[in-house]
Structure 1
Amino acid sequence: MTEAGVQNRSVFHYPVRVFYEDTDAAGIVYYANYLKFAERGRTEWLRHLGYDHIRLKRESGLVFAVRRCAADYIKPARLDDLLDVRTKVTKVAGATIEMAQDIYLDDTHLVAVQVKLACLDEAGAPMRMPAELRQVLRGTE
């Protein structure tokens, strides 16, 4: 696996260890927890780019919300596995970001997540992303 929080070309890698609380009685990761792992990957990717959620909200009033999410569960992860959440921007528009997030165990592809984020103001209304952020994100496509 790639070093924690490293961006290779256009893919950001984020390691996640599977804890007991992430699993069901059989020791297999509960399906909804993969979405939490993906969220952590997106959050740390944004922080890696220098735009954490607090800064964006404070400086521009921007917050993100998941508009659409689809997950394909290919193989299960188990207790104590060290997963690699790979995040890649696939499309940047004025008020949306589309991403592909793939979760791996070593070289085994476990889960594929497609997510579309909406940019909102603090009241929940659609908002264009600041031009500087849009430019940085387009550089990761």
Structure 2
Amino acid sequence: MGGIVYYANYLKFIERARSTWVAQLGVDQLALQASGMVFAVRSIQAEYLAPARLGDQLEVVSQRRSSTPARWILHQEVQRRGQVLFSAEVTIVALTETGKPTRLPAELRRNSNA
């Protein structure tokens, strides 16, 4: 309402950025899923700092903070012309098709610098 971007859309923006980042690492998420591994968000801590308006050109900046063999912790920001509008710490885990934790593929453990 009122030309302000709906709060849940920020989660969609950072999800798309993570998917694009993983694809740029050369990972085919559909192939991973076919092999029995998927990514899932385990936790997210978010802060809404300023509103985006409909029509704004937004940029999502993602940085890997830390990782383990089965988990990434990312810092993501949605920015407008360098102003941080939304900030989140996101924990991503690797799971088997039955929902059990599993190791990230070796290429992701080696090449996961955002």
The TM-score normalised by the length of structure 1 is 0.77
Structure 2 gaps of 5+ residues are: none
The alignment partner of 1:47 has SS state of helix
Q: Which residue of 1 aligns with 2:94?
A: 119
* Count of aligned pairs between the two proteins: 114
Matched, 1:56 2:32: yes
Given that residues 87 and 99 in structure 1 are in contact (C-alpha distance below 8 angstroms), is that contact kept between their aligned partners in structure 2?
A: yes
Matched, 1:29 2:34: no
Pairing of 1:40-119 with structure 2 (within 5 A): 40-58=16-34, 60-119=35-94
Identity percentage of aligned residues = 43
Structure 1 gaps of 5+ residues are: 1-24
The one-letter code sitting in structure 2 at the alignment partner of 1:97 is W
Cα offset, 1:132, TM superposition: 2.3
Q: Which residue of 2 aligns with 1:132?
A: 107
The alignment partner of 1:38 has SS state of helix
Give the 4+ runs in structure 1 shifted more than 4 A.
none
| RMSD, aligned CA | 1.2
Given that residues 119 and 126 in structure 1 are in contact (C-alpha distance below 8 angstroms), is that contact kept between their aligned partners in structure 2?
A: yes
Cα distance in 1, alignment partners of residues 26 and 7 from structure 2 = 30
